[in-house]
Amino acid sequence: MPVSTVLLLASIGVLSLFCQWLAWRVRMPAILFLLAGGIAAGPVLGFLAPEVVFGDLLFPVISLAVAIILFEGSLTLRYEEIRGHGKMVRNLIPVGSIVTCIIGTLAARWLLDVSWAVALLFGAISIVTGPTVIAPLLRSVRPDSKLANILRWEGIIIDPVGALLAVLVFEGIVSWGQGNVFGHSLYIFGKTLAVGFVIGAVAGYLNGIVLRKHWIPQYLHNAGTLTFMLGVYAISNELAHESGLLTVTIMGIWMANMKQVPIESILEFKESLSVLLISALFIILAARVEFAAIAELGWGLVAVLALLMLVARPLSIFLSAIGTNLNLREKLFLSWIAPRGIVAAAVSALFAFQLQKLGYESAGALVPLVFMLIIATVTLQSLTARPVARLLKVAEPAEYGFLILGANPVARMIGMALKKYEVPVTLADTNWENVRQARMENLQVYFGNPVSEHASTHLDLTGIGKLLVISPYKHMNSLATYHFLDWFGNKCVFSLAEGDQDQKARHQTAEKIQMTRGLFDGVSYAKLASLVSQGYTVKTTQLSEEFGYEEFLNKYQNQALVLFTFDSKEHVAPVCSMKDLKPENDWILISLVPPQARKERKEKEGGEPSASQDQPADQEPSSTI
């Protein structure tokens, strides 16, 4: 019985959603399950045949999807981020790219006997790792912050850079084949570069001006930018054959580096695209993989993969690490982690099709070769990265840090107090003024929604394993609570109570979220903000035999609110109930205390010592705002 096209299209969406959900549950890169799902639906079961479903529109759709992927990736490529993340990252991008490209090219040419054109293109594509596969792996493995930052920023930067290199190689192949003489081929290649760079820069500048000056309404920013980019892509291809991918990459880089251009909402728009477009694209591409084509590559395929994983990557790392402070164990860990992602798969499928049209017979080997590289690196490294990190002793010892939802005055005050005791703290907020104030106080902060796709790539959670919800945004509070309950666990997510009026006005909170309520003795955000406005400040208190917990409570007439405790083993824990709190004499308390009494202030101003054993915030600026 023939299956309708509508059912097949709907099945792609359902399958992609299931794969994304499964990856989320087991905390592994979604690309692994998307590839498995596409292969199962295509060559295994014969249910999905992309050529039949899409017909002549298959590769135009793929090319537009690749353009969107490259454009979105290039929007994250800011010059200051390249300069600001260490010598290792700066070395790894050029050195690693060159080493991997050369070894990949030579291995494919000599071991698989493909043409130089296909070998060069494979070498260029093989350098791309990508944040979509690096970020889930880092969250699962949790290496120390230095290694996590190197891998994370390598993935972010190498994604558009690698795609750009692949585009340039492809343009060189195409232009070389269009002329009978060297000069004409060089002219075609130069024309392609000129069109790509000029149109990309002009389009990026014009679109940035439109967004900056708000010449179109806010609700059209995402859709307008996307459609304009696709139009520029099509026009560029008409002016110079296959120059569109270079054009949209340059356009994204230009917009990312323009000042005062609101691209945050465009980056968030990628969340829907990543689920609906990228996931479906992976399944479609995987469904086209033929087992016969993989079998034809023979043992040469295994040798190529081994050279890239065991020779090219370690050589790239050790050469790039010259002059850095990385030790041998850190270099070995970095040498093992280099999973390939969606850009490699999409670009390989598109370019293989174009090379086949140009008459390159061995172009058919490009897709199975790249897909096997993706499958091998993602599978092996996802399964072995954690034990390798433990063996090399580069894993984070404990996730005792806090992600604080909110960068308001109350959250900043708490963040400063925790930072004083070297507890990893990151604040996340969508209010720019709050974020700006947090940065001025030298707090690590993320500007945006912490449960967004953008956050999954850019929010550094190294050393962080607990969530504190200290925010007035009730909808975002619920979303973040649900999200991080699954990441951190029920005992590591803490939320302030809701006010009585809010509870009456709204439906009863879901039971799963209700379990997290009651942080800081059950106070609400409104109550905390009110106390701060009355002059309450955060202070640290070292308990002792002479000044125990009872003396502490009496000093502030039972008006102090204990927020955190540090026990004798330096374990930090937020306080949920002061009634059940029984600190020992060698513990440290972080508390919100009322303003000093008039007598105590006079003693302090007169230089007389106070009887308090407290360490006031005004003497230790790191514990107050």
- The beta-carbon contacts of 397-400 under 8 Å, at least 24 apart in sequence, are 398/465, 399/142, 399/463, 399/464, 399/465, 399/466, 399/488, 400/424, 400/463, 400/465, 400/466, 400/571, 400/572
* Predicted confidence band of residue 619 (pLDDT cuts 50, 70, 90): very low
pLDDT at 505: 41
407 vs 429: CA distance, rounded Å: 6
236 vs 202: CA distance, rounded Å: 12
Average of per-residue pLDDT across 235-264: 82
Over residues 337-354, the pLDDT tens digits come to 888 877 777 778 778 877
Average pLDDT of the chain, as a whole number: 78
Average of per-residue pLDDT across 67-72: 78
Residue 607 has pLDDT above 60, yes or no: no
Over residues 406-442, the pLDDT tens digits come to 888 888 888 888 888 778 889 998 888 888 888 888 8
pLDDT at 379: 83
152 vs 396: CA distance, rounded Å: 15
Q: Higher pLDDT residue, 2 or 229?
A: 229
Average of per-residue pLDDT across 363-389: 85
Query: Percentage of the chain with pLDDT > 90?
Result: 8
pLDDT at 231: 93
pLDDT at 185: 58
Q: Higher pLDDT residue, 525 or 600?
A: 525
Over residues 568-595, the pLDDT tens digits come to 666 788 888 777 778 887 788 888 888 8
Residue ranges and CATH numbers for the domains of the chain are 3-390 (1.20.1530.20), 399-498+512-591 (3.40.50.720)
Q: Higher pLDDT residue, 406 or 503?
A: 406
Average of per-residue pLDDT across 306-327: 90
Query: Percentage of the chain with pLDDT > 70?
Result: 81
35 vs 39: CA distance, rounded Å: 6
Over residues 476-501, the pLDDT tens digits come to 888 888 788 777 777 788 888 765 54
Average of per-residue pLDDT across 93-102: 89
* Predicted confidence band of residue 401 (pLDDT cuts 50, 70, 90): confident
pLDDT at 411: 87
Over residues 448-463, the pLDDT tens digits come to 888 876 777 677 777 7
Over residues 275-315, the pLDDT tens digits come to 677 788 888 888 887 777 788 888 888 999 999 999 999 99
Cβ proximity of 74 and 248 under 8 Å: yes
Residue 622 has pLDDT above 60, yes or no: no
Average of per-residue pLDDT across 167-185: 65
Q: Is the dihedral of CA 177, 180, 186, 188 positive or negative?
A: negative
3-state SS, residue 43 = helix
3-state SS, residue 23 = helix
**Which of 44-58, 146-160, 395-409, 509-523 comes out lowest in average pLDDT?**
509-523
Over residues 193-235, the pLDDT tens digits come to 888 899 999 999 999 898 888 888 878 888 888 899 999 999 9
pLDDT at 166: 77
Residue in 576, 594, 1, 312 with CA at minimum distance from that of residue 614? 594
**Which of 263-267, 305-309, 360-364, 484-488 comes out lowest in average pLDDT?**
263-267
- Tokens encoding 88: 């290792």
pLDDT at 305: 92
pLDDT at 517: 58
pLDDT at 199: 93
> DSSP letter string over 156-173?
HHHHHHHHHHHHHHHHHH
* Predicted confidence band of residue 107 (pLDDT cuts 50, 70, 90): very high
- Tokens encoding 344: 């490699």
Residue with tokens 């370019």: 351
Residue 553 has pLDDT above 80, yes or no: yes
452 vs 480: CA distance, rounded Å: 10
**Which of 8-17, 47-56, 507-516 comes out lowest in average pLDDT?**
507-516
Residue 145 CB partners (closer than 8 Å, separation 6+): 396, 460, 462, 463
Over residues 126-151, the pLDDT tens digits come to 888 766 677 777 777 778 777 877 88
Average of per-residue pLDDT across 382-403: 81
Angle, helices 221-239/58-74, rounded to nearest 10 degrees:
120
Cβ proximity of 342 and 285 under 8 Å: no
pLDDT at 232: 93
* Predicted confidence band of residue 255 (pLDDT cuts 50, 70, 90): confident
- Tokens encoding 94: 């050029």
pLDDT at 608: 44
